[in-house]
A = this chain, B = another copy of it.
Amino acid sequence: MESPRWLREEEQRAWRAYIRMHGQLTALLNRQLQADSGLSLADYGVLVELTDTPDGRLRPFELQRELQWEQSRLSHHLTRMQRRGLISREECPEDGRGAFVVLTDAGREAITAAAPGHVEAVRSLFFEGLTPEQVAALERLSTQVTARIETAAGDCADPA
């Protein structure tokens, strides 16, 4: 505790570069998506998950597991998407507490229209500047960190 173990200089630089990169990247992606199709990245994520299921319907808790969102964030966001007609909610017969989130036709059209432009933006802003080795390294790095984070979070929630 005496000396709080600052970051080494390379770590500082890497951290700042990373934070800056992510901020710029998501800002641009969000703007592109919003301008071209009226969707946010958050909307896009929800719609992708729904589109990935055969019948375009999921329980909120399944969506939550996939997106790794807070429950209340998801609930609020679904309310807003419902208001805009992108999804609808239905009751769940086999669990009186539960619900279903259902992709509407408008929702399916929106994601279908938005996807090509978004994918193209991700590619041109991000992947086209990287070598395959860098892409592989990024995946490894992200996976390692995520694993580390999840054990850390588990520790404080479930301290055996």
Q: Which residues of A contact B (CB under 8 A)?
A: 1, 4-7, 10-11, 13-15, 17-18, 20-25, 28, 68, 115-116, 119-120, 122-130, 132, 134-150, 152-153
Write out the residue numbers on chain B whose beta carbons fall within 8 Å of the beta carbon of A18.
138-139, 142
Write out the residue numbers on chain B whose beta carbons fall within 8 Å of the beta carbon of A136.
10, 14
Bound Cα distance A139, B16 (Å) = 9
Write out the residue numbers on chain B whose beta carbons fall within 8 Å of the beta carbon of A24.
68, 146, 149-150, 153
A125: min CB distance to chain B, Å: 6
- A4-B120, A13-B139, A14-B135 known; A28 vs B115 contact (CB < 8 Å): no
Is A20 within 8 A of B139, CB to CB?
A: no
A65: min CB distance to chain B, Å: 12
Copies in the complex: 2
> Can you list 8 residue pairs at the A/B interface with Cβ under 8 Å?
A7-B122, A7-B123, A10-B136, A11-B123, A24-B149, A128-B148, A130-B141, A138-B141
- A28-B153, A132-B10, A142-B21 known; A123 vs B68 contact (CB < 8 Å): no
Bound Cα distance A136, B14 (Å) = 7
- A5-B120, A10-B132, A116-B4 known; A28 vs B139 contact (CB < 8 Å): no
Bound Cα distance A60, B4 (Å) = 30
